[in-house]
């Protein structure tokens, strides 16, 4: 049986070196990387307060999930633990396993294992816990029932997708906090710039009691259909979802009629949420991350572009909330720095009752050019693996590392950073701005 503390997320070494530039404290980055390999110890559900109360949902959940621990917390989320491994999910097991044997369970991170393998798998694998088998090896491939009852698992949450689909929504806590940061009021006109699958859009709709208008955009029609279906399921009627490239909301003659019909004008929205595509480095559990520096560096320019359109659409005095689920300071504090330096905005804190959640943003010492040069050297001329299924090897592009200035101490106090190694949740970042002048 393996020790539960021995696994960690596998990251490209150049990524580790780059993130290390921002993490001064000895061992901090290491503990973040370790935390990423484990799921948070709580699973949270958001109650759909348009259709039920948290007390009634809690009662329903307690009845259905009687073998799990279900708790009410201040925002009404349910906390649930426990889960076993079903036979169809077992890909390989060494010969001779019988019922009631003690086993260690691994994930095949590169999806290379052949189903039915009888010897120990030699490829890359990540340990996820220990358990006891309920059947012999031969039954694994015939049964649909529980094959391994986990005794020391990190995956101890039951599958919650689809449970009371109208009454609740599976969502992590920092995402729930993001919608609260917007402090939407009934009657507001709001834009969610990057909205699919609709988790935050639907939460904002709940918080404004389904009264007002939320324009929810995403890039393609399929993704937008997901938002519409979610809203329908949760009985939300104040959302207008459209397939749009949000960087172009204010561009193009051909969209002029649409803009007029829905009154999409600069300086006209009360609240805007910008939850853009990001490198997702805060998501957990994450066994392996194949991204390299070139991939990592591609996000921030796009986020800044989206920010530009968002801020033009916001009215003076309006609120813009920016959020990501990544640890990368380039996509977090540096986007905030960019916004403060280029647009008429000021940073403000979130609602008082949430101010103790998360911690302040990073302020970092810009390292010497020599240290930065070292990291660049290690990524140059390096060949990186081909994307899955492709025969070709991609040549690593040269990467230019530019560390922009960090936030001032008082600015860092206003943004919220959720650290997987401290907060027992996903890595996340939230900043809230108020627009202070017209941009026309
Ligand atoms: C982080 S996800 C949004 C999650 C969503 N806010 C939620 O809480 O459910 C980012 C989304 O941005 C969308 N996206 C990317 N580029 C976009 C663009 N130019 N315009 C609109 N949506 C875009 C992606 O398709 C993706 O669904």
The answer to the question of residue 360 being in a domain is yes
Q: Based on the domain organization, do 143 and 208 belong to the same domain?
A: no
| Sign of the dihedral through C-alpha 53, 59, 60, 66 | positive
**How many angstroms does the Cα of residue 91 sit away from the middle of ligand 1?**
34
Atom of ligand 1 nearest to the CA of 217: 21
Q: Is residue 325 annotated as part of the catalytic site, yes or no?
A: yes
Peptide bond before 197: cis, by omega within 30 degrees of 0? yes
The answer to the question of residue 78 being in a domain is no
Atom of ligand 1 nearest to the CA of 246: 20
| Mean pLDDT across 327-337 | 94
Q: Based on the domain organization, do 144 and 180 belong to the same domain?
A: no
Q: Residue 390: pLDDT above 50?
A: no
Q: Which residues contact 111 (CB under 8 A, 6 or more apart)?
A: none
Q: Residue 208: pLDDT above 80?
A: yes
Closest CA to 198 of 183, 179, 182, 211: 179
Q: Based on the domain organization, do 228 and 294 belong to the same domain?
A: yes
Binding-site positions for S-adenosyl-L-methionine read 218, 245, 275
Q: Residue 384: pLDDT above 60?
A: no
**Distance (Å, rounded) from C-alpha 269 to C-alpha 294?**
35
Active-site hit among 231, 238, 278, 325: 325
Count the Cβ atoms, other than its own, within 10 Å of residue 240. Answer: 14
Residue 61 backbone dihedrals phi, psi, to 5 degrees: -65, -40
Q: Based on the domain organization, do 324 and 395 belong to the same domain?
A: yes
Give residue 408's pLDDT: 93
Q: Based on the domain organization, do 309 and 394 belong to the same domain?
A: yes
How many domains would you assign to the chain?
Answer: 2
Please indicate whether residue 305, judged by its CB atom, sits closer than 6 Å to ligand 1.
Answer: no
The whole-model pTM stands at 0.81
Of 39-48, 60-69, 182-191, 331-340, the one with minimum mean pLDDT is 60-69
Q: Based on the domain organization, do 115 and 201 belong to the same domain?
A: no
Q: Based on the domain organization, do 133 and 244 belong to the same domain?
A: no
The answer to whether the CB of 130 falls within 8 A of the CB of 1 is: yes
The answer to the question of residue 184 being in a domain is yes
Q: Based on the domain organization, do 192 and 332 belong to the same domain?
A: yes
Burial of 222 (0-12, 13-18, 19+ CB in 10 A): exposed
**How many angstroms does the Cα of residue 280 sit away from the middle of ligand 1?**
12
Report the share of the chain in percent with pLDDT over 90: 52
* CATH number for the domain that contains residue 374: 3.40.50.150
Atom of ligand 1 nearest to the CA of 277: 10
Q: Which two tokens stand for residue 91?
A: 């890909």
pLDDT tier at 171 (50, 70, 90 boundaries)?
Answer: very high
Please indicate whether residue 307, judged by its CB atom, sits closer than 6 Å to ligand 1.
Answer: no
Of 98, 122, 153, the domain-final residue: 153
The answer to the question of residue 251 being in a domain is yes
Mutate to test the pocket of ligand 1, among 172, 276, 280, 281 (most ligand atoms within 8 A of CB): 276
Of 63-77, 257-271, 277-291, the one with minimum mean pLDDT is 63-77
Q: Based on the domain organization, do 122 and 212 belong to the same domain?
A: no
Domain coverage including residue 113: 85-153
Condensed to tens digits (0 to 9), the pLDDT of residues 120-136 reads: 887 766 666 778 899 99
Q: Based on the domain organization, do 126 and 196 belong to the same domain?
A: no
Place of tokens 């110890």: 41
The answer to whether the CB of 193 falls within 8 A of the CB of 219 is: no
Give residue 44's pLDDT: 87
């Amino acid at each position: 049986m393996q020790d539960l503390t021995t696994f960690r997320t596998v990251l490209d070494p150049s990524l580790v070196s780059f993130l290390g530039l921002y993490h001064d404290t000895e061992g901090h980055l290491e503990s973040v990387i370790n935390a990423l390999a484990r799921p948070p110890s709580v699973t949270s559900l958001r109650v759909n307060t348009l259709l039920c109360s948290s007390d009634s949902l809690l009662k329903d959940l307690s009845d259905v999930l009687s073998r799990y621990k279900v708790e009410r917390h201040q925002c009404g989320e349910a906390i649930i633990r426990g889960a076993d491994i079903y036979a169809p999910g077992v890909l390989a097991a060494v010969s001779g396993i019988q019922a009631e044997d003690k086993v260690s369970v691994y994930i095949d991170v590169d999806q290379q294992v052949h189903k039915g393998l009888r010897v120990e798998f030699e490829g890359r694998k990540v340990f996820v816990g220990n358990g006891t088998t309920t059947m012999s090896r031969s039954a694994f491939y015939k049964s649909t029932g529980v094959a391994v009852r986990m005794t020391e698992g990190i995956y101890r949450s039951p599958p919650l997708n689809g449970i009371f689909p109208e009454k609740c929504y599976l969502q992590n806590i920092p995402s729930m906090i993001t919608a609260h940061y917007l402090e939407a009021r009934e009657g507001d006109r709001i834009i969610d710039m990057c909205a699919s699958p609709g988790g935050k859009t639907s939460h904002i709709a709940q918080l404004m009691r389904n009264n007002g208008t939320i324009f929810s955009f995403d890039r393609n029609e399929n993704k937008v259909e997901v938002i519409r279906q979610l809203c329908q399921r949760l009985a939300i009627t104040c959302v207008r979802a459209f397939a749009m490239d949000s960087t172009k909301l204010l561009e193009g003659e051909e969209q002029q009629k649409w803009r007029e019909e829905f009154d999409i004008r600069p300086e006209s929205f009360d609240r805007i949420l910008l939850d853009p595509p990001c490198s997702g480095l805060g998501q957990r559990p994450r066994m392996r991350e194949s991204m390299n520096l070139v991939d990592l560096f591609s996000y921030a320019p796009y986020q800044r572009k989206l920010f530009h359109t968002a801020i033009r659409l916001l009215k003076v005095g309006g609120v813009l909330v920016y959020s990501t689920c990544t640890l990368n300071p380039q996509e977090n504090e540096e986007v905030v720095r960019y916004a403060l330096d280029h647009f008429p905005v000021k940073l403000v804190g979130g609602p008082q009752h949430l101010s103790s959640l998360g911690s302040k943003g990073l302020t970092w010492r810009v390292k010497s050019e020599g240290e930065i040069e070292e990291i660049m050297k290690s990524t140059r001329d390096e060949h990186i693996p081909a994307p899955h299924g492709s025969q070709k090897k991609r040549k690593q592009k040269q990467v230019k590392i530019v560390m922009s200035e960090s936030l001032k101490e008082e600015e860092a106090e206003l943004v919220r950073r959720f650290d997987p190694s401290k907060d027992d949740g996903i890595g996340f970042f939230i900043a809230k701005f108020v627009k202070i002048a017209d941009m026309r």
